[in-house]
Structures are given as structure tokens and as C-alpha cells.
A and B are shown apart, each in its own frame.
Chain A
Amino acid sequence: MEDISLVTVVFMLPLVGLVLMLLFARTEQGYRWGALVTSLVTFGVSLLLLRNFDTGVSGLQMVQKVDWITADSFTIRYYVGVDGISIWLVMLTTFIMPLAILASFNPIKDRVRLYYLFMVLMEWAMLGVFVAQDLFLFYIFWEVTLVPMYFLIGIWGAEDRIYAAVKFFLYTMAGSLLMLLAILWLGNKAGTFSLPDILAKLETGELSFSTNTARWLFLAFGIAFAIKVPMWPLHSWLPDAHVQAPTAGSVILAGVLLKMGTYGFVRFNLPLFPEASKTFAPYVAVLAVIGIIYGAWVSYGQKDVKKLVAYSSISHLGFVMLGIFALNPAGIQGGILQMVNHGISTGGLFLLVGVLYERRHTKLMSAFGGIWRAMPLYSGIALVIVLSSMGLPGLNGFVGEFTILLGSAGSSVLSWWFTFFAAIGIILAAVYMLYMFNTVFMGALDKEENKRLPDLNWQELWSLVPILVMVFVIGLQAGYFFKFMDGSVQELVDQVNTYVMTAAGQ
């Protein structure tokens, strides 16, 4: 038995917490604190991942590989590890979860035990998605994330929660089932389901598919991921799910779940099907840019703050997709950083909306106005997060979007028009965000019921402060974050390019 890797420890901690909660927690309070402590410990241990991470290595690190299912014609492994692409997503997950759990302390009063069990289960499944290096393992966690989210939306959501929960489940499952077939096909052909092994076989030429097959496989994986991102026009589940979900559910959805889609593109589509990636890049980019503009445009038309934030996600994720399919280091690094940024900013925005909703039980912008006078602390934090989401220089959003635009402008597969339209999206983001801020926080405090709103309590404050800190840290010290990605992203881009070059040379 080899040593247990740190990645396994981080990944299994939520499960350990879950079992301990089931065994020892007797009261609702026990479950609350059990979940919080579990997620905090997971976060603490995941910080060690950063310390032990060797930025000089481009491949997987802290790997653990155990044969799990062995059959005559194939093996399935428990195979986990992190590299420069997944490390920040693991960190994002462990960072967001304690905040989401803390933010649930007040609003969730019903079926408390079940709620926190699902939260911890959720964290486990999401970590599984990001650390899994075996397609079987990946698919398991990819699907398992649906279950707790289905319950979170369905039990603790708003009025139309059942519709939203079922739509969320069926929509995402539709995509993943085709991916399942693609996975089975790949594994059957390769005799293994481990991604690194498959990539190695592709490199040595031991395994190869025809151009046509590769494109079909690209689509089978791609549609599953595109639904999750969500890319226009597959986005219609998102506004429903986001708006109906409880605050913490929206935070997790926006913060982490959507990144599973974009991560999937980087992890699977680009290295496995480089030729298809290059061929489809302009088409994906068109959809991404449509998403950027459409998301921004529709956001501007919303009357409901939560809907506005939900649609803004479509716009932001469009940037991420554009960066990834620029297929150069700047674009992909910007894309990955923007995944983290979006998780932090939009997660923060949903927490802010949750605070308002708790006090007024409405999310309509017209119900507010002049909130700054009633809740100055809250409004100050909101201003920073809104600006970060808009991409103000010095804050996190700017670094990501700027790098993505650099990447797409310098891309050999995308024309400069994409950059141009994406830049318009940034302007539109400023429009809808500032419009929202103006309506809700500025102006006269003219509604009677808003005058006595209490400012943040300690739980709300402590769920927002870490976000505030990260907004500045990433904004001012982005180099630290890029340093982790350099090696892995460069290797990925090389993989894509060499393959296409050899193919062109033949």
C-alpha cells in the first residue's frame, strides 16, 4: 500500500465529516457546526496543497493511483491528483464552501440536519470532479453533484423550486449521458479509463481515432460541458435554478458547479481532441461571444436582483470560454483565473442578495433604493464586489478579463472581431452592474420598510469578509496565481499545437 496522498486527504475530509456528523451529531446545532468545521478543516488542509505544490512540474502532482475495478479488457482506477489547471478550482471549492455554510446559519430553519448533510456531500462530490483523473471516477462525481443540488433547490428553494430542481437535473443529465457513451467508447478503445494513460497512448500513436470520430467525441463531451457552463443557447436551466435555489445553493452553483463545465473543456476536450478543438474553436467562440453580449443584455432588463446576477453569470462564463478556445497560454490562464474570479465575485453577489432577501423577503430592485443610508457596512462591501464583478482595475475581475482579451487578441485561431465584441461585453457589464447598484443602494431612502433594516450580523459579515480579501489579493497579486498554472497550461498548449502541426505536416 502506497502512502496516502494529500489530495486524497483533502478530497476525503468532507466524507469523513459526513460520517462523523451522522454518528455523533445529535442536535441541529451539532449539524450546523459539524458542517462548518468540516468545511473549515478541509480548507485548512487544502492550503497545504498550495505549500506542497511544485510549480516547476507541469504534470500531475500528489498523485494517488490504486486499481479499483479490474476486468479482462480494461481497468478502472482510483486515480487522483492535481496540476496547475485543477489546483485553483480545488482551492475555490474549499474556500467557497465554509462561506456558503456560514451564510446558511440564519436562513435555513427547516430540516436542518438534511441540509447540512447535503452541503457536505456536495463539497465531497465537487472535489471529486476536480481531482479525478480516471474517467469512471470523474463521471461518478460529475453525476453525483446533481443529487444534493436537486434536493437543495427542491426542498429549500423559492416558490417554483420543484420546476427548477427537475429542470436542472434533467437538463444536466441529458448532456452527461452522451458524455457517458463517449467515455465508454474511449475506455473501450484504450483499454483503460485513466486520462493520463489515454493521453500517453495518443502521444505514442498506440491509440488514434479518425478526424471524424474525434469530432463526434469532442461534441459528446462538449455538449455535456456546455450545458453545465452554461453556453448560449443551452443556458435556460440556469436562471431558474439560480433564482429558485436558496442563497447557499446559488453560491455553490455559481461559485463551483458552473466551473465544472469550463474545467471539463480544459481537462478533456483540448488534450484529447486537439484537432477537433482547433476546428471547433471559432464556433465555440461565436457562442461564447453571443453568451457574453446576450447575458449582459438580458441582465440589464431584469427587475429581480437575483435574476440579474444569474444572467450576468452567462456573460462572465462566456469570457472564460472565449479564453479557453483562444488556445494559447494567455487565454487559457486568463480563463482559469476568471473561473476563480467569477466564483468569488458572483458567489459574493449571491450572498449579498441573500442578505437583502432575508430582511425584506423580496428580490425586486424596485422594492429598494437608498439602502446605503440604512446599511452602510453592507453597502460598502457590496460596492467592492460589484466593482470586482465589473472588472475594475486593481480588483480580481480585471486581471482575468484583461488576460482573456489579450489571449483572444493574440490567438492564431480566432479573429480580432471576437476580442472586439467581448470588449463590448465589458462595457455592458458596467452598465447593468452600476444600474443595479444605483437603483438598490443609491438615491433616497424613500421606502418606509427599508428605513429600519439592520446592518450585517456577524455570520453575514464573516461570510463576506473573506471574499472581500480575495478580491483584493487576486487583483493585486495575480502573478502568484498565474505562477501555479504556467507549467501545466504551457504543456497543454504544446500538446494541442504539436498534434495539429504533425497532422498538418502529413
Chain B
Amino acid sequence: MFSVPDLSDLNAGAALPAIFLGAYACLLMIVDLFIPRTRKQITVALTLVGLGAALALSLLALGDVVEFGDGAVAFGGMYVADRFSDAVNVTVLITAILGVLVAYNYLERIRRQRSEYYYLLLFTTLGVMVMGAAGDLVIVFVALELLSIPLYILSGFRWPQEASEESALKYFILGAFSSGFLVYGIALVYGATGTTDFRALWQSIGQIVADDASSKYLLLVGTGLVLVGLGFKVAAVPFHMWTPDVYQGAPTSVVAYMSVAAKIGGFAALARVLGAGMGNLTLGGEAAAAWQSTVWIIAALTMILGNVVAIVQSDLKRLLAYSSIAHAGYLLIGVAAVGTPAVTDEAVRAVVMYLVAYAFTNVGAFAVIIAVEKDDASNTGLDSMRGLAARQPLLAASMAVFMLSLTGIPLTAGFVGKWFVFKSAVAADLIPVAVIGVLTSLVSAYYYLRIVWYMYFEQGKGEAYVPAPLAWAISIATVGTLALGIFPYLLSDLANGITLAFGR
């Protein structure tokens, strides 16, 4: 018989930032009904207030100023509020704030200023937060849907423009498809182990490995399908096909947010599931987890394809789509390193640092595209960058910083992220994939530098429209990218002490 748990046993307080944001989003939906259509800036301001408050709560938790709840485990192990989830919360909330700032004037310009945009964005953010705190495969799935469904809608926010509709439909169909893989994978894992809870999963897997039971094959297939499902979300090769089309067609403000938030969610889930749930899934007495080789091969393919195909792109949004595929590859190196028990902590921290760096950099880069984009969604070609430095020196300087950061040049956040990810790969003895990583970084330098040279070395119209909120977003992103690069200990101090609860 089921026993109904006492409410006080739930330790719901531990999930306070997420619960707050969820409640706030619901409340905003209702409050918004009473805000007249012409005064939607109030909704925007309320959204920012909500995100800011949630960010403050998360920062308090991350800085160990206040401890919400009693210990990390909440809802009977469904929700884990450890330092990892705090870091994920902070990262995604900063991303969301930047996402709102870049969206406001853009939506005004394309005449799609509707409040749905803002509370859908809040729900997606909530999805990412829950994903980073998942302690159970079922929660991973629920959070993934909470993250994805608002994004499907947001991608089509520019209806009746065909590209936007196509983007939404494509994203929805492929997303639903990948959810199917994930659920099936979870079902098989459940079939092999009889549980979806990470703690029980770990023990059960330990037993299967120790006994060398035949259910390990079922388990492996299940793990593979989970990898496929999450691989779709983070746009890893060969599950990346949707990315360029969706990124190109969706409203740029959505892409700015989505390209980062979906990655944070996807990689947080990968780290949780693989690191805390299945880290001990070893075969044949090897020290490293069985999924490690699969992950690093995917990482290698992702880096190679993303970077090589990005070279020939002539549209900025498409180029950054391939670049985001490539960066999924670098992050996957870190995930692969999680599979070596001695390096797990270091690798998880590296992934977190990379995500923080990527958040500032990539939202910033898309924000610059928003600035040059015309109201009819045109002028997103590489040519729009020509001569930008002469007409818009600060905008061009910011873009140059983002491009150097994406390349991984020192004194930018991107370098610090790459340094730690490659360091964890070397520590995990994954030298070949690290070599592929640095060589593809070289390839990426070409197309990122091309944007810099279009801006600085060539002549052009260099037209851009930078209203105040967008300027704020770009400034925050630039300062963040530079500060984390010049003072790398900011990132490493943030990451120090992160260990996945459960596991080991």
C-alpha cells in the first residue's frame, strides 16, 4: 500500500527558488489579464522582478548564506537542491533576464508584443531549473517537457511568417520524437533495474555489474536511448538536424535565449543522469563508465561537423546554430570525462563553468544580431557585419569580444571554459578527443574571425538599432564575458565544491 508522506517530510523548502518561480509565473498569467494591451511594459517589468527575485534566492543558496529546507534531498529524492542545482539556477536565471531584455524592443518592432512570450519564458526557465535538480528519471522527463513545450510555442511566435511557423513545427515534431526515445529509454532502464530513483538506480546498477547479470544489456540499450533523447535536446551529432532550421526561422530573441537555456537544461540532465545515476555502469572491470566511449565519440563527431559546416554558412543565425552544435561537442567532452570516477567532480565543475561562460557569450552574440536585424527578419547575413566597427564601435567591440570568447582566446570567459573542459579530458585520459577538440577550435577560429574582420577590416553600411534594454543586455554580456575571462577565479570559485548529490 502507498503511504501518504507527511508534508513536512517533503522538505519542499529546499526547492524554494523553483517553487517561487513556478508560482510567480502562474500568478503573472492571471495578473496580466488586468494589464491593458498598451501597457505591456508592466508585464515585462514584473517578469524581470520575478526572475530577479528567483536569482537572488538562488544566489543566497549558492553562497551558503541561507539554507532553504533541510538538506539537499526534497520530495522523497525527486528533487535535489545541491550546489550543482544552485549553479544551474543562477546560470539559467541570468540567461532568462538577458533573454527578456533582448526581447522587449524586438517584439515591439516585429509587432508581436504579447505577454504570453514572457510567462512562457518563465515556464521554460522553471523547466531548466527542475532539470538541474532532478533526482529521478521521471522528473527528468517532466522537466524536459516543461522546458520544451514553451519553446515550441515561442519558436512559432512570429506567425504568420512561414519561416517561424516551419521552425516551430519542425522543432515540435522532432522534439516530440526525441521525447519518445527518452521515455522508451527510461522504461528500459526501469525494466532492468526496477527503479527510476537515482539512488536506487546506482545501487541496482552496482548489483547488476557485480553479478554480471544479463539485464545489463537491457540497461545498456536503455541508457543509449536516454542518450539519444537528451542528445536531441543539446543538438549533438547525429541528432542535430533540426538546429540550423529552427535557429534560422525562430524569432532571434527566442534563439538567443533558447540556444543557451536548452543547453543548460540538457547538460544538467546529462550530468545528473549519467554522473549521479549511472556513473557506476562499468563493463568488463574497466574503471570508466560504459557510456563514456559513446559520449566521446558523439562529442568528436559533434565538434567536427559543427565547426566544419559553420565555415560555409553565410547567414549569421545559421552560422551560430552550427557554432552552438560545435559547443555542444565541447561540453560533451566534459560529460565524457564525468565517466571516469576519479575525475567526475572536476568534469562536472568544468561543464558548469563552460555553461556559465557560454551563457554570457552566446546570448550576447545573438543580441548583436537582434541589433542589426531589420523588422522584416532580413539583414541577418554575414554582410550585415561589414563596416560595423566604423558606425557602431561599441557594438562591434562587444561582438568581437563574443567571437573571441567563442573561439576560446584568453582573457575571455570562453577560454576559461575550454581550459577546464580540456583539463578534465586530459585528467580522464581522453587525449584523442581533447586533440580533436583543440584542432576543431582552430577551425572555428576561422569563421569567428571572419565576423571580426567583416566588422573591422571592411567597409559597409553597418546599420544597427540598439535601444536601451538591448544595450543593457549586450553590456552585461560583454562585461560578464570579459570579467570571467580576466578573473578566472570567479568561475572556479563558483564551481569549487560542486559535487553531484547521490552517486558513489
Which of A's residues lie within 8 Å of B, judged by CB? 68-73, 76, 136, 139-141, 143-144, 146-147, 150-151, 154-155, 161-162, 165-166, 169-170, 173-174, 177-178, 180-181, 184-185, 187-188
B324 to chain A, nearest CB (A): 21
Q: Is B426 an interface residue (CB 8 A)?
A: yes
CA distance A303 to B440 in the complex (A): 38
B472 to chain A, nearest CB (A): 21
- A residues less than 8 Å from B409 (CB atoms): 143-144, 146-147
Contacts A139-B410, A151-B456, A155-B457 known; A184 to B422 CB distance under 8 Å?
Answer: yes
Contact among A71, A155, A170 for B445, CB-based, below 8 A: A170
- A residues less than 8 Å from B82 (CB atoms): none
B492→A177 contact, CB < 8 A:
no
CA distance A136 to B427 in the complex (A): 16
User: 1/0 per residue B399-428: CB within 8 Å of A?
Assistant: 000001000011100010001001100110
- B residues less than 8 Å from A166 (CB atoms): 446, 449-450, 453
- B residues less than 8 Å from A174 (CB atoms): 442
B431→A72 contact, CB < 8 A:
no
CA distance A169 to B446 in the complex (A): 9
CA distance A464 to B435 in the complex (A): 46
Known: A69-B488, A69-B489. 14 other contacts (CB 8 A): A71-B496, A73-B427, A136-B419, A143-B415, A144-B409, A150-B449, A151-B456, A173-B442, A180-B419, A181-B434, A184-B422, A187-B423, A188-B423, A188-B427
Interface positions, chain B 359-389, Cβ under 8 Å from A, are none
A71→B492 contact, CB < 8 A:
yes
A118 to chain B, nearest CB (A): 11
Interface CB pairs A-B, < 8 A, 10: A70-B489, A70-B496, A73-B427, A76-B488, A141-B410, A150-B452, A155-B457, A165-B453, A181-B434, A185-B431
Contact among A151, A161, A162, A181 for B438, CB-based, below 8 A: A181
Q: Is B165 an interface residue (CB 8 A)?
A: no
A156 to chain B, nearest CB (A): 10
B133 to chain A, nearest CB (A): 23
Contact among B404, B446, B450, B492 for A69, CB-based, below 8 A: B492
Contacts A147-B404, A150-B449 known; A165 to B438 CB distance under 8 Å?
Answer: no
A140→B411 contact, CB < 8 A:
yes
Contacts A71-B346, A72-B345, A181-B434 known; A144 to B422 CB distance under 8 Å?
Answer: no
B496→A144 contact, CB < 8 A:
no
A336 to chain B, nearest CB (A): 26
B15 to chain A, nearest CB (A): 28
Q: Is B439 an interface residue (CB 8 A)?
A: yes
| Interface of chain B, main secondary structure | helix
- A residues less than 8 Å from B458 (CB atoms): 162
Q: Is B292 an interface residue (CB 8 A)?
A: no
Contacts A72-B346, A155-B457, A165-B453 known; A184 to B426 CB distance under 8 Å?
Answer: yes
Q: Is B441 an interface residue (CB 8 A)?
A: yes
A143→B438 contact, CB < 8 A:
no
CA distance A177 to B409 in the complex (A): 11
- A residues less than 8 Å from B445 (CB atoms): 169-170, 173
CA distance A252 to B300 in the complex (A): 38
A181→B426 contact, CB < 8 A:
yes
Contacts A155-B457, A165-B457, A166-B449 known; A180 to B411 CB distance under 8 Å?
Answer: no
- A residues less than 8 Å from B411 (CB atoms): 140, 144
CA distance A169 to B345 in the complex (A): 35
- A residues less than 8 Å from B345 (CB atoms): 72
B160 to chain A, nearest CB (A): 42
Number of A-B pairs, beta carbon distance below 8 Å: 86
Query: Which of A72, A136, A173 gathers most chain B CB within 10 Å?
Result: A173
CA distance A155 to B390 in the complex (A): 11
Query: Which of B410, B435, B446 gathers most chain A CB within 10 Å?
Result: B410
Contact among B423, B439, B449, B456 for A169, CB-based, below 8 A: B449
- A residues less than 8 Å from B449 (CB atoms): 150, 166, 169-170
A140→B441 contact, CB < 8 A:
no
- B residues less than 8 Å from A181 (CB atoms): 422, 426, 431, 434-435, 438
Contacts A143-B410, A147-B409, A181-B435 known; A162 to B457 CB distance under 8 Å?
Answer: yes
A180→B427 contact, CB < 8 A:
no
- A residues less than 8 Å from B442 (CB atoms): 170, 173-174, 177
- A residues less than 8 Å from B450 (CB atoms): 166
Chain B, residue nearest A177 (CB): B438
Contacts A71-B496, A162-B453 known; A177 to B439 CB distance under 8 Å?
Answer: yes
CA distance A136 to B489 in the complex (A): 13
B453→A144 contact, CB < 8 A:
no
CA distance A491 to B238 in the complex (A): 55
CA distance A254 to B422 in the complex (A): 32
- B residues less than 8 Å from A162 (CB atoms): 453, 457-458
CA distance A161 to B453 in the complex (A): 10
Query: Which of B404, B434, B457, B489 gathers most chain A CB within 10 Å?
Result: B457
CA distance A70 to B404 in the complex (A): 25
- B residues less than 8 Å from A185 (CB atoms): 426, 431
User: 1/0 per residue B80-106: CB within 8 Å of A?
Assistant: 000000000000000000000000000
B422→A154 contact, CB < 8 A:
no
- B residues less than 8 Å from A69 (CB atoms): 488-489, 492
Contact among A146, A154, A178 for B453, CB-based, below 8 A: A154
CA distance A162 to B458 in the complex (A): 9
- B residues less than 8 Å from A140 (CB atoms): 410-411, 415
B318 to chain A, nearest CB (A): 21
A177→B441 contact, CB < 8 A:
yes
Contact among A70, A76, A141, A155 for B456, CB-based, below 8 A: A155
A241 to chain B, nearest CB (A): 14
CA distance A71 to B489 in the complex (A): 10
Chain B, residue nearest A142 (CB): B410
CA distance A161 to B496 in the complex (A): 44
A178→B446 contact, CB < 8 A:
no
Chain B, residue nearest A153 (CB): B457
- B residues less than 8 Å from A147 (CB atoms): 404, 409
Contact among B423, B489, B496 for A184, CB-based, below 8 A: B423
A180→B438 contact, CB < 8 A:
yes
User: 1/0 per residue B476-502: CB within 8 Å of A?
Assistant: 000000000000110010001000000
CA distance A73 to B442 in the complex (A): 28
User: 1/0 per residue B56-91: CB within 8 Å of A?
Assistant: 000000000000000000000000000000000000
Chain A, residue nearest B390 (CB): A111
Contact among A144, A161, A184 for B410, CB-based, below 8 A: A144
Interface positions, chain B 201-226, Cβ under 8 Å from A, are none
A178→B492 contact, CB < 8 A:
no
CA distance A331 to B280 in the complex (A): 56
CA distance A298 to B458 in the complex (A): 32
- A residues less than 8 Å from B489 (CB atoms): 68-70
CA distance A69 to B456 in the complex (A): 34
Chain A, residue nearest B457 (CB): A154
Chain B, residue nearest A154 (CB): B457
B493 to chain A, nearest CB (A): 8
A273 to chain B, nearest CB (A): 18
Kindly list the 6 A-B residue pairs having the minimum CB-CB distance in the complex, ordered from nearest: A177-B438, A140-B410, A154-B457, A184-B426, A143-B410, A69-B492
- B residues less than 8 Å from A177 (CB atoms): 438-439, 441-442
Chain B, residue nearest A180 (CB): B438
- A residues less than 8 Å from B415 (CB atoms): 140, 143
- A residues less than 8 Å from B431 (CB atoms): 181, 185
B427 to chain A, nearest CB (A): 5
- A residues less than 8 Å from B441 (CB atoms): 177
- B residues less than 8 Å from A71 (CB atoms): 346, 349, 492, 496
CA distance A143 to B415 in the complex (A): 10
B410→A180 contact, CB < 8 A:
no
- A residues less than 8 Å from B439 (CB atoms): 177
CA distance A107 to B463 in the complex (A): 29
User: 1/0 per residue B437-479: CB within 8 Å of A?
Assistant: 0110110011001101100111000000000000000000000
A467 to chain B, nearest CB (A): 31
- B residues less than 8 Å from A180 (CB atoms): 419, 422, 438
